[in-house]
Structure 1
Amino acid sequence: MTRHGFHFSKSLGQNFLCARHVPTAIAQGAGIDENTGVLEVGPGIGTLTRELCQRARRVVAVELDRRLPPVLGETLGEFDNFHLVEGDILKTNIPQLCREELGEGRKVACANLPYYITTPALTALVSSGCFAQITVMVQKEVARRICAKPGTGDYGAFSVYCQFHGKPSILLDVPAGCFIPAPKVDSAVVVLTPYAENPLGPVDENLYFRVVRAAFAQRRKTLLNCLRHGFPQLEREDILACLEEAGIGAQARGETLGLEDFARLTEAVGKRLQKE
């Protein structure tokens, strides 16, 4: 990095892995073999990328920092199965990129996500519907939120979003000292395995997450009051009827509801909205 005149950018949230065992553990846990195509986000200087290239059929990495391609050209020059795309993952058409760069066959996403884009980047990867597995390193507190269960302090709308689309688990914890420069918080690697078929069955996804967002918008208030605020076209009696139909108490709070509870509530709310 010194030879290339590289300096870390705080605005890009750059913290590069320097502990050798971590990229190895991530690549092993990402479920990659010689038939797998990998999309990596933010390869940095290629520490994790090398491990991916040694295992995968092909690796395509999206990097925003225009100072890094010369560095990656040196650190990954030996791999003919690697391709770098300069750009912003949040502005990238991920399905198109996967079709053009990874072709047919099994695809996974793997990334050490910059902290400041964790939620939108992970949302983009999940919503693309392209991957058999998504393995990302995030802040440890975010990892806990992704995997949180109903009724816990970490459980929220993003927990529901991730768990609606797949099964999450924490692969390993990564202390701050494993990075250069060391961040102020520890990290964790989360593996999200998308469902082939949603276990909730047919559900209006847009309405489902409208209900979820309303339920968590004011955590101190009851679900009844949250839904009244989120669905102003429905009367109080309508909301009460929806809760009763879904088998949910009027004084319940959003953080106590599981995914199945939200599915029943969404169905009930949908019926009332059709009458309006």
Structure 2
Amino acid sequence: MEKLITKELVKKYNFKFNKNLGQNFLIDNNVLDNIIEGSEVSKDDFVIEIGPGVGTLTRELLNKAKKVCAVELDSELIPILQNELKEFDNFQLIHKDALKIDFNEIIGDEKHIKVIANLPYYVTTPIIAKILNEGYNFDSLTIMIQKEVAERIDSEPDCKEYGALSVLVQYYCDTKIIMNVPPSAFIPQPKVNSIVIRLDKLDKPRVEVKDKQLFFKIVRQSFNMRRKTLRNAIKSLKVMDLETMEKAFNDAGIDPRRRGETLSLQEFANLTDSIYKFI
């Protein structure tokens, strides 16, 4: 069967975009090709695609990968995907909310897991956080996200973009920006520019900490109160008295008058381990 492009599939099925789901479908084949190439999908890979839309990218992935499991929330898209991709015996479709899925149930005994996602922008950060925090065994996550979010993920300390999301992603992954994507690459057109970024999971976290939960609690609090000094941000956690807290800062070699946005991952790790030592 000759491949149909996104616009033709939308017209063929008279598909109506759901504003509540924030749907924007890719119509630029150059972007699609770059996602395929940038994700480096091969015949050894088990691909989880989150948000397949009408299946244009899915079809290309099915021709490249060992198997593709697509997770779609919109019930209107399920029969379209089932019909358009019925010829592929390496296709699996799951009609669920990706934020409520245990991906280990999908992965099973599979190796070489690659996740690819083109999602509504309001859900991209929660999806990234879920996949990283829940410790799934994957090689890479290639995702289309709002340009500003990609810049936050890829930012360095001491700039306004640097935040808790930067630390979370860089703790677990290397990052690689694949391409910038203009609004004209979608229907309907979003009001923002996009970026395709790949997150390659590290064999072990970038820094070692004695208490990972405490590490991320300190990171979140430091950026939730980013206008305040570290002393005031950490004080609000109420994990120790002020005198002990000063000892912890001194032990970590970090000036408590600094702000969280100035700390590197290693400095956050040092501060966490010093606080852990004293509580």
Match of 2:131 among 107, 125, 131: 125
Alpha-carbon shift at residue 169 of structure 1 (Å): 1.9
Tell me the distance in 1 between the aligned counterparts of 2:120 and 2:78: 18
Matches within 5 A, 1:193-208: 193-208=200-215
- Preserved contact between residue 31 and residue 133 of structure 1 (Cα < 8 Å): no
2:255 aligned with 1:249, yes or no?
yes
- 1:71 counterpart residue number: 80
2:104 aligned with 1:95, yes or no?
yes
Match of 1:10 among 12, 16, 19: 19
Tell me the distance in 2 between the aligned counterparts of 1:268 and 1:10: 48
Q: Encode CA deviations 1:124-170: one digit per residue, 9 max, x unaligned.
A: 22234221111111000000011111011100011101111111121
- 1:224 counterpart residue number: 231
Alpha-carbon shift at residue 74 of structure 1 (Å): 3.4
- Preserved contact between residue 209 and residue 215 of structure 2 (Cα < 8 Å): no
Tell me the distance in 2 between the aligned counterparts of 1:176 and 1:130: 33
- 2:43 counterpart residue number: 34
**Counterpart amino acid of residue 266 in structure 1:** T
Match of 1:151 among 155, 158, 161: 158
User: Alignment partner of 2:48: what SS?
Assistant: strand
Q: Encode CA deviations 1:83-117: one digit per residue, 9 max, x unaligned.
A: 11100001111111111xxx422111001121111
- Preserved contact between residue 171 and residue 188 of structure 1 (Cα < 8 Å): yes
- Preserved contact between residue 168 and residue 190 of structure 1 (Cα < 8 Å): yes
Q: Encode CA deviations 1:177-233: one digit per residue, 9 max, x unaligned.
A: 100000000110111111112232353111110111111121111011100012x14
Alpha-carbon shift at residue 35 of structure 1 (Å): 0.6
User: Alignment partner of 2:217: what SS?
Assistant: helix
66-75 or 155-164, which deviates more:
66-75
Aligned residue pairs total 269
Tell me the distance in 2 between the aligned counterparts of 1:42 and 1:199: 29
**Counterpart amino acid of residue 157 in structure 1:** A
**Counterpart amino acid of residue 16 in structure 1:** F
- Preserved contact between residue 103 and residue 136 of structure 2 (Cα < 8 Å): no
When residues 213 and 165 of structure 1 are mapped into structure 2, their CA distance, relative to the original with a 3 A threshold, is same
Match of 1:105 among 111, 132, 138: 111
2:93 aligned with 1:84, yes or no?
yes
Structure 2 unaligned regions, length at least 5: 1-9
Alpha-carbon shift at residue 78 of structure 1 (Å): 2.9
When residues 59 and 238 of structure 1 are mapped into structure 2, their CA distance, relative to the original with a 3 A threshold, is same
10-19 or 75-84, which deviates more:
75-84
**Counterpart amino acid of residue 13 in structure 1:** G
- Preserved contact between residue 42 and residue 113 of structure 1 (Cα < 8 Å): yes
22-31 or 256-265, which deviates more:
22-31
Alpha-carbon shift at residue 71 of structure 1 (Å): 1.5
- 1:238 counterpart residue number: 244
Tell me the distance in 1 between the aligned counterparts of 2:250 and 2:57: 50
178-187 or 120-129, which deviates more:
120-129
Q: TM-score scaled to structure 2, two decimals? A: 0.93
Q: Encode CA deviations 1:56-90: one digit per residue, 9 max, x unaligned.
A: 00000000000112211333233221111100001
User: Alignment partner of 2:20: what SS?
Assistant: coil
Alpha-carbon shift at residue 174 of structure 1 (Å): 0.7
- 2:29 counterpart residue number: 20
2:178 aligned with 1:171, yes or no?
yes
**Counterpart amino acid of residue 235 in structure 1:** D
Tell me the distance in 1 between the aligned counterparts of 2:156 and 2:254: 18
Q: Encode CA deviations 1:14-33: one digit per residue, 9 max, x unaligned.
A: 00000011111111111211
After TM superposition, the runs of 4+ consecutive aligned structure 1 residues lying more than 4 A away are none
